[in-house]
Amino acid sequence: MRLKMVWKVTVLNLKNAFGLATFAYFFRKRDVRFLKSAGIFALIVLALAPLFYIYLRIVDEVYEFAVGTGQEGVVITMGLVLASFLVFIFGIAYVISTFYFSRDLDFLIPLPLRPGEVLAGKFGMVLATEYITIAPFLLPAFLVYGLRTEPGLLFWLLVPVIYLLVPLIPLALASLLVMVLMSITNLSRKKDLLQLLGMFILVLMIMAFNFLMTRVPPGEEMELMMMIFQDPEGLINYVGRAFPTTIWATRAMIYPLSAGQALNFLGFSGISVLALWCMMWVADVLFYRGLIGGQEVEKGRVLDKEKIARKLMTRHSPIVAIAQREMRILIRTPIYMFNSVAILVIAPLAMGIPYFTMGFGELGAMLAVVDRTLINLAGAGFIALMSLFVPALSSSISREGRLFRLSQVIPVHPFKQLLGKLLYGFMLTLLAVPLLILGAFLFLPWGFWDLVFITLMGLVVSGQMLVLSLIIDLMRPYLTWDNPQQAIKQNMNVLFAMVLGAGLLYIYYLMVERLMERDFSAGIIYVVVVVISLAVAASLTFILHKMSSRRYKKIVI
């Protein structure tokens, strides 16, 4: 492995991905566009500040609680576990697309580089983005512990070292799994489908693993409590057991200088390096083998002339044609499908895990005391939230990428094109409905007509979310991506839309709460929500209409 080569590939990828070169160029030239980029960055930080504050408070409260057990170090374990999980889960989709679907592979592979070197370079690029992802989760943990415990200089020296090491193990693990997955699916004919399934299975396995690790067998709650509070490391061990290496890292950070501490540190960094080495070694064997799988596609049937002609006869309106195009591209791009549909599976599971131990019967009983109007509105809110998280429209212009040119030259008014996208957004939002039906079967108090009503409400509330997402993406689409995953994951618009949309939903929640306190009837509350939603959606649509032509003209790829 020639580290120089790895470094070169990484730098090339990074420059390309983050537009570093353009940024530096604007800066040197004193171009005002530099200020624009900086301004957007500031805006993002501002939008995320409240969330960050809430998280900081939570960490602080955990610390407060842990002081009672004498295990304050648990905040560090918590940060490390959280960061590792994020890296691992996001890593899978990200690694697949960067390793296997980047456009620059056609350029890199003919160069005299070993597979492991190309892969390590790509790995470096993913790693760099992961450092950014985990910073807001990890740094507060270090800060809270460091400021409140005053652990001495060594702790602060270790902070950057551990920070740099943390994502290595989960990301190498994700890469290994992905490489195995890709080289297996490559053997089959239905590659796209298998890859999608594989990704789901991986994620489900992780969740199941997590569930088993944290599950407490019925009747043993007391023993567990004893273990956690009597063992001087009980809490830390309990929190960290899904990722045992995080326990070592915690120990290395919180105990004073000693042989034991050095050993923990060596263990942690040793395994990190080993994981990395293992990955590169496997890459030399497996990477290129799975690679062709990313590109080779099964052929369709050969049609006779009559059939072709018949297929060419079906005519749709431009709006429908555009919605159709969006849908097809989504369904046939495993990585988009994974991003959109996985969230529908993962989100409710992640939200539900703490409750599943209860059993659905108890859950239903718990809900019985909650106001029905609120449950129904929560269902509608869930649909709206899904329209943001899918993410149907906050990346829909970005996803067109360089092909946005085609949208610029077709004779369909940009606003009409955007309406087509909205139609697609609504269709995708409907994916949330099966979840609601499932919920109704399991524990939610809904019958058929309730579900119909909630779905309609949900679509009404989603309208504004979808238009808002579209406006955000239209203002600053990210079109020059190199692999399809970037269009979603490296796209700040997606995050923006989620934060703004969720904020909007929160305002609705506050409003409904006030109305209920004042004893307004359910009918009136529904009407208020619908009227306000439609009004907001209409004004946003007006803005979209105003800006559409100008933006479609201005954007240059």
Can you give the binding site for another protein, defined by CB under 8 A? 29, 31, 295, 297, 299-303, 305, 308-318, 320-322, 324-325, 328-329, 332-333, 402-403, 405-406, 408-413, 549, 553-554, 556
Minimum CB distance to another protein, residue 344 (Å): 21
Angle between helices 372-389 and 334-356 (to 10 degrees): 150
Considering the complex, state which of residue 241 and residue 325 has its C-beta at the smaller distance from another protein.
Answer: 325
**Could you tell me the smallest distance in angstroms from the CB atom of residue 422 to another protein?**
16
Closest by CA to 276, choosing from 183, 177, 180, 171, is 171
Residue placing its CB nearer to another protein in the complex, 251 or 551: 551
CB of 311 to another protein, least distance (A): 5
- Of 320 and 366, nearer to another protein (C-beta) is 320
In the complex, what is the shortest distance from the CB of residue 35 to another protein, in angstroms, rounded to a whole number?
15
- Residue 297 CB, shortest distance to another protein, in Å, is 5
Amino acid at 305: K
- In order, the DSSP letters of 480-525 are --SSHHHHHHT-HHHHHHHHHHHHHHHHHHHHHHHHHHTT--HHHH
Distance CA 484, CA 492 (A): 15
What's the rounded Cα separation, in Å, for the pair 58 and 63?
9
Indicate left, alpha or beta for 160 from its phi (over 0: left) and psi (-120 to 50: alpha): alpha
d(CA 474, CA 477): 6
Rounded Cα gap, residues 430 and 174, in angstroms: 31
Closer residue to another protein (CB): 57 or 307 = 307
Q: For another protein, which is the closer residue by CB, 104 or 284?
A: 104
**Cβ 390 vs Cβ 343: under 8 Å:** yes
Residue 299 CB, shortest distance to another protein, in Å, is 5
Q: Are 259 and 151 in contact (CB under 8 A)?
A: no
Cα 387 from Cα 390, distance rounded (Å): 6
Q: Closest CB to another protein among 322 and 487? A: 322
373: tokens are: 């109007």
Whose CA is closest to 213, among 357, 374, 328, 34? Answer: 357
CB 252 within 8 A of CB 268: yes
4/299 with CB nearer another protein: 299
Q: Give the shortest CB-298-to-another protein separation in angstroms.
A: 8
> Could you tell me the smallest distance in angstroms from the CB atom of residue 481 to another protein?
14
Residue 73 to residue 157: CA distance in whole angstroms: 16
User: Smallest distance, Å, CB 126 to another protein?
Assistant: 23
Angle at 295 between CA 293 and CA 300, to 5 degrees: 100
Closer Cβ to another protein, 4 or 315, answer by number = 315
Residue whose CB is less far from another protein, 4 or 311: 311
State the Cα torsion 517-523-529-535 to the nearest 10°: -140
For residue 8, what are the contacts with CB-CB under 8 A and spacing of at least 6?
A: 121
Pick 374 or 555: Cβ nearer another protein = 555
CB 423 within 8 A of CB 467: no
What is the nearest approach in angstroms of another protein to the Cβ of residue 188? 17
Closest CA to 325 of 396, 249, 231: 396
Give the nearest distance from C-beta 95 to another protein in angstroms: 21
Which CB, 201 or 406, lies closer to another protein? Answer: 406
Q: Are 163 and 132 in contact (CB under 8 A)?
A: no
